[in-house]
Structure 1
């Protein structure tokens, strides 16, 4: 296992370090308590979004945690119905107000549905907000290769992150390879397949390593170089999903999991990477 995989953080193209394991709060209706539990379990990277309606709860949990602002890495996202320069600029200020933060560590374009012109307007607004100190790093989510290339073709710097659905059944190899070749960190949502860990390969490896299936899937994600974002509202699961640093899957076992890719048929979420 390389030093990169042993590290608990990864350096973004902007020079900031991002924890290699994040905690997602999508459809978490106990966000404040769950984020506090996640902080207790050692997570320092929280992934929220404007569409989740949980930004204020994340900010509240942080203030109750006793942690310093520099101790945590907070991501949020702007969904397509709010894309466009002016709307994005206003939405950034709204997110800052809801979380009561002076800056946001990572701000993502949540999806590509708004179309090329609005996507690029939104991206430029994020760049300007970063220049103003409101954002530290900029990224995208659910972007296919053609979406990433339109940023380059517009003469703009590449995003620091692309967050996509990513797990053994949906490996999105062309997007991952493009991102790795261009210094874009890949975040993985749905990394534990929404708890669907009953496949014989997962159960066999869980027994072999004396772990549960979710831990095997998350360890696979880490060793692939991804930044997985597991979510849970169950305290025991929040803690167990963070216990990943004291074991390593062998190359043969990684290959067994790699072989499970189903392409687009393996998708379990909206995954709009092919929209125009």
Structure 2
């Protein structure tokens, strides 16, 4: 039986959409490797897929999703618009939807703040329009600071539902967490393993107490805090182990000890 992955509610065009807190990242996976990875993940019980135009794997992900036989509403799909596509946002999303074989994505993100005068606001206006047209249920940003988010809200009155940023215990920043929470923005982290010393004795001690791995502790730390996390692996055993982290339950003391790795 697949682990139960909790979800966070995102503001969506049609009310709210549930975003599983643990998903599958697909960066650097291409071709048949990407297809097999996603098929395996879906068979194991993953219901959240994260991709991007710049990853070059949307067609493989779309094929895997179609071949899985799962109902569209059962899988949360995110893609991202590259910042250099200012002025070409609509065609970029249409290509993504075509490659993914979908009529909408659950979350569309601006992948990075665009450069140029007012470019960020102009791109965000088109992202908002895509949501209004039903092409993206929820919308957000990636690699944005709270100040940049405030610029978007000030210009459009629409706040991103999500900010996807590099995140791990070593990055833990209570001020950023509070700033996003105050703005009603969900924190989604990527690169959860690369940015933390997986040999840290704190992680080893917590892992041993739960008959788990340090990687599973890191993932559970995200989930238990309510941070979305999207680890990537092309290996079935690691995909299964990552998903199993959702079933761990760390104590308050263990959570605080892992938090302190960012101090």
Cα deviation code 1:52-85 (max 9, x no counterpart): 0011111010011010111111000011111x2x
- Three-state SS of the structure 2 residue aligned to 1:62 is helix
Mapped pair 1:8 → 2:6: yes
| Whole-angstrom CA distance in 1 between matches of 2:127 and 2:227 | 24
| Whole-angstrom CA distance in 2 between matches of 1:96 and 1:74 | 11
Deviation at 1:172, TM superposition (A): 3.6
| Whole-angstrom CA distance in 2 between matches of 1:145 and 1:189 | 18
| Whole-angstrom CA distance in 1 between matches of 2:246 and 2:231 | 15
Structure-2-length-normalised TM-score: 0.92
Deviation at 1:193, TM superposition (A): 2.7
Q: Is the 8 A contact 1:78 1:91 kept in 2?
A: yes
Deviation at 1:156, TM superposition (A): 2.2
Corresponding residue of 2:71 = 68
| Whole-angstrom CA distance in 2 between matches of 1:70 and 1:201 | 39
| Whole-angstrom CA distance in 2 between matches of 1:124 and 1:257 | 39
| Whole-angstrom CA distance in 2 between matches of 1:135 and 1:188 | 20
Structure-1-length-normalised TM-score: 0.88
1:168-183 alignment runs, 5 A limit: 168-183=169-184
Deviation at 1:111, TM superposition (A): 0.7
Mapped pair 1:240 → 2:241: yes
Stretches of structure 1 lacking an aligned partner (at least 5 in a row): 1-5, 263-276
Deviation at 1:113, TM superposition (A): 4.1
Deviation at 1:224, TM superposition (A): 1.4
Root mean square deviation of aligned Cα = 1.6
Q: Is the 8 A contact 2:170 2:195 kept in 1?
A: no
Q: Is the 8 A contact 1:145 1:174 kept in 2?
A: no
| Whole-angstrom CA distance in 2 between matches of 1:217 and 1:251 | 14
Deviation at 1:192, TM superposition (A): 2.4
Sort the Cα spacing of 1:215 and 1:179 in 2 relative to 1 into closer, same or farther, 3 A: same
Deviation at 1:28, TM superposition (A): 1.7
Corresponding residue of 2:207 = 206
Cα deviation code 1:14-68 (max 9, x no counterpart): 2111111110000123111001111011110000000100111110100110101
| Whole-angstrom CA distance in 1 between matches of 2:223 and 2:172 | 13
- Three-state SS of the structure 1 residue aligned to 2:239 is helix
Q: Is the 8 A contact 1:22 1:44 kept in 2?
A: yes
Q: Is the 8 A contact 1:195 1:214 kept in 2?
A: no
Sort the Cα spacing of 1:46 and 1:116 in 2 relative to 1 into closer, same or farther, 3 A: farther
Higher mean displacement: 188-197 or 47-56 = 188-197
Corresponding residue of 2:27 = 26
Deviation at 1:169, TM superposition (A): 0.8
| Whole-angstrom CA distance in 1 between matches of 2:246 and 2:135 | 33
| Whole-angstrom CA distance in 1 between matches of 2:158 and 2:195 | 33
| Whole-angstrom CA distance in 2 between matches of 1:24 and 1:194 | 15
Misfit runs of 4+, over 4 Å: none
Corresponding residue of 2:56 = 53
Q: Is the 8 A contact 2:5 2:246 kept in 1?
A: no
Stretches of structure 2 lacking an aligned partner (at least 5 in a row): none
| Whole-angstrom CA distance in 1 between matches of 2:117 and 2:158 | 16
